[in-house]
């Protein structure tokens, strides 16, 4: 017997676990779910809800599984009369003062009081006096709505704000049954970039999302995994969308975004930027068809016509004036698959030597927790693939300036798929320095309005491809929704363009393209979409740059207004 492991039995199932493992953690390894409210793997253990109590042979009474360590040779039972009585007792105590708001509560359908009542409660109310009144629907900042009556005082929110963000906006005040959770005097969750996580943490409807309020019943939601596009951290997310009730939300399907656990990247958390900024993916500014500017304005054209125009312009410029007449501005939000094809078409085939993408521009450092200063999800990917060109790239601003000076015949601009671009950058466009401007974009913008040719591409919600985060972890972004209109993945567009110019590229299919990339670029060697499926994978041979600040321990985060750290 190893001193480092202990052998225990839970409900007759034997398991060997490292010394120090709690009963609850050991049970999870066996696939046995023990009910819990106050316990959360990323927060301190407080053992206060008491619903995780189990029976241990030889112990004088029930013990809490979240705190009690598995002792060698012990026998644990999670489904005896004693355990059922304890759980039912706790459920009754919790529901005693809980308002039955289910018909109007957003958490209905994913509420742990409902869930555990159905499995472990099912008692009839014996309450013959009134429930305690408290403040309901109090907006406490950053899209969070507090309902103190629904609160079961599990204190997860208080602990998160104390030990994960270290910002201490909330507290557990009062005493006994007069206890209540609230903001501390003068505090607000506004300015806390991670406030939305308390909504995920709340097991009941005490903390709900104002942005999601009354929007859709959760049982209509489908869930799809994805990766957040808003910065170089690449937090794993889950997109919740409604595709059945088409009259809701002006037809937009995505209802909300939640973090998805990845121990190497973001732990259990995500920031509010990624959580809330997704409207552009489906709103009315989405481009659905290729556009060509003719007299009188922009005209919708079919893809093959648009691509013929593009191919013609590009080849013409290269043949007449050399590849130096093509200005190329890639977007560090492109997938690696698209970046690979961009390189194939523009750099290898068309001979572009310098692009408007320069290495080392995103900035290092972040806020000490998840948010990175580099607001692009795949800068590192583009750098490795060489999208700056064989002679190195110049800054985007510099490229615009040169375009404005009339140095180029054709400008191909890959619009960032997320952020609105500051008007100052339009300088090169406005002076019509280039004869022909091609813009690949998902949404209309001042750029698309000035373009001669607009190719509609997918935002990340419809795209299929990989990104490399700042640490060098490759993660696969799979489509959540089908394309709007006739928009296509950037990789597919580049493949079609290449095909039209007679270049041997793949058909743009994502997995096949990644395999080609992995064969040609040594950092990606050995990787495939398949082995990225769970938590992504590190670039070949790359030591990951810095440890993940996945927020399980006290991070360097100090709230907004603090200078970001550099690592």
Residues that bind another protein (CB under 8 A): 45-51, 53, 60-62, 64, 67, 85-86, 89-90, 92-94, 96-97, 126-130, 152-153, 158, 162, 168-179, 184-187
Longest distance between any two alpha carbons in the chain, whole Å: 90
Strands 465-468 and 473-477: antiparallel
In the complex with another protein, the residue whose CB is nearer, 129 or 563, is 129
Least distance in angstroms from the C-beta of 268 to another protein: 22
Any idea which residue has 């039912």 for tokens?
88
Closer Cβ to another protein, 122 or 504, answer by number: 122
The whole-angstrom separation of Cα 424 and Cα 160 is 40
Cα four-point dihedral sign 242, 246, 248, 253: positive
> Cα 249 vs. chain centroid, distance in angstroms?
21
> Residue 22 or 262: which CB sits closer to another protein?
22
Whole-number minimum distance, CB 35 to another protein, in Å?
12
Determine the angle formed by the axes of helices 81-96 and 112-120, rounding to 10 degrees. 140
Residues 133 and 531: their CA atoms lie apart, in Å, by 53
Structural element, H or E, at residue 114: helix 112-120
Q: Quick one: which of 170, 173, 175 has its CA closest to 195?
A: 170
Q: Decide: 179 and 153 in contact? Cβ < 8 Å.
A: yes
- Residue 487 CB, nearest distance to another protein (Å)? 48
- Nearer to another protein (CB atom), residue 142 or residue 440: 142
Q: Is the dihedral angle over the CA atoms 376, 161, 159, 134 positive or is it negative?
A: negative
In Å, how far are 43, 122, 549 from 554, measured between CA atoms? 10, 39, 9
By beta-carbon proximity to another protein, the closer residue of 186 and 296 is: 186
* 413's tokens: 């601009």
Write down the least CB distance from residue 127 to another protein, Å. Answer: 8
Which of residues 56 and 410 has its CB atom nearest to another protein in the complex? 56
Least Cβ distance, residue 30 to another protein (angstroms): 24
Nearer to another protein, 189 or 350 (CB): 189
Half-sphere exposure of 518 (CA within 13 A, CB side): 20
Q: Which is nearer to another protein, 47 or 109 (CB)?
A: 47
Distance separating alpha carbons of residues 28 and 34, to the nearest angstrom:
8
Shortest Å distance, C-beta 555 to another protein: 16
- How far is 151 from 180, CA to CA, in rounded Å? 8
- Shortest Cβ distance from residue 252 to another protein (Å)? 37
In the bound complex, what is the minimum distance in angstroms from residue 77's beta carbon to another protein?
16
């Amino acid at each position: 017997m190893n001193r480092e492991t202990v052998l225990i039995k839970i409900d007759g199932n034997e398991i060997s676990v490292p010394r120090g493992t709690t009963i609850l953690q050991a049970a999870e390894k066996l696939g046995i779910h023990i009910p819990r409210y106050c316990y959360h793997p990323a927060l301190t253990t407080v053992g206060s809800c008491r619903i995780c109590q189990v029976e241990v042979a030889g112990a004088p009474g029930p013990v809490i599984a979240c705190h009690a360590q598995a002792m060698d040779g012990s026998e644990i039972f999670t489904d005896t009369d004693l355990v059922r009585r304890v759980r039912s007792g706790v459920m009754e105590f919790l529901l005693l003062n809980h308002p039955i708001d289910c018909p109007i509560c957003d958490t209905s359908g994913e509420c742990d009081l409902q869930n555990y009542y159905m499995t472990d409660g099912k008692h009839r109310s014996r309450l013959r006096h009134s429930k305690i009144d408290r403040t309901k629907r109090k907006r406490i900042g950053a899209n969070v709505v507090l309902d103190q009556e629904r609160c079961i005082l599990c204190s997860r929110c208080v602990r998160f704000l104390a030990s994960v963000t270290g910002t201490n906006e909330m507290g557990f005040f009062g005493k006994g049954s007069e206890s209540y959770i609230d903001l501390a005097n003068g505090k607000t969750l506004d300015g806390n970039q991670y406030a939305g996580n308390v909504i995920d943490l709340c097991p009941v409807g005490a903390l709900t999302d104002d942005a999601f309020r009354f929007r859709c019943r959760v049982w209509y939601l489908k869930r799809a995994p994805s990766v957040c596009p808003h910065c170089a951290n690449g937090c794993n997310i889950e997109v919740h969308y409604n595709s059945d009730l088409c009259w809701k939300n002006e037809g937009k399907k995505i209802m909300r975004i939640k973090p998805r656990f990845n121990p190497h990247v973001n732990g259990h958390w995500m920031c509010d930027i990624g959580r809330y900024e997704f409207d552009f993916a489906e709103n009315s500014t989405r481009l659905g068809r290729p556009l060509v500017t003719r007299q009188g304005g922009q005209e919708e054209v079919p893809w093959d016509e648009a691509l013929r125009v593009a191919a013609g312009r590009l080849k013409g410029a290269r043949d007449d004036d050399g590849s130096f007449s093509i200005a190329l501005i890639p977007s560090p939000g492109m997938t690696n698959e698209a970046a690979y094809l961009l390189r194939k078409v523009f750099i290898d085939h068309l001979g572009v030597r310098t692009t408007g993408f320069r290495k080392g521009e995103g900035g290092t450092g972040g806020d000490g927790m998840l948010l990175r200063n580099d607001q692009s999800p795949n800068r590192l990917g583009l750098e490795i693939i060489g999208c700056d060109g064989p002679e190195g790239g110049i800054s985007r601003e510099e490229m615009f300036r040169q375009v404005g000076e009339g140095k180029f015949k054709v400008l191909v601009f890959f619009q960032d798929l997320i952020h609105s671009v500051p008007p100052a950058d339009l300088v090169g466009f406005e002076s019509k320095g280039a004869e022909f401007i091609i813009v690949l974009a998902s949404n209309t913008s001042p750029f698309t309005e000035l373009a001669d040719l607009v190719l509609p591409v997918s935002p990340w919600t419809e795209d299929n491809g990989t990104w490399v985060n700042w640490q060098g972890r490759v993660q696969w972004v799979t489509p959540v929704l089908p394309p709007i209109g006739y928009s296509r993945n950037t990789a597919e567009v580049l493949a079609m363009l290449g095909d039209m110019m007679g270049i041997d590229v793949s058909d743009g299919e994502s997995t096949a393209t990644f395999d080609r990339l992995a064969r040609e670029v040594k950092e990606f060697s050995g990787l495939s979409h398949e082995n990225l499926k769970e938590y992504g994978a590190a670039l070949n041979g790359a030591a990951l740059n810095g440890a993940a600040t996945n927020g399980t321990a006290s991070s360097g985060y100090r709230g907004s207004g603090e200078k970001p750290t550099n690592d």
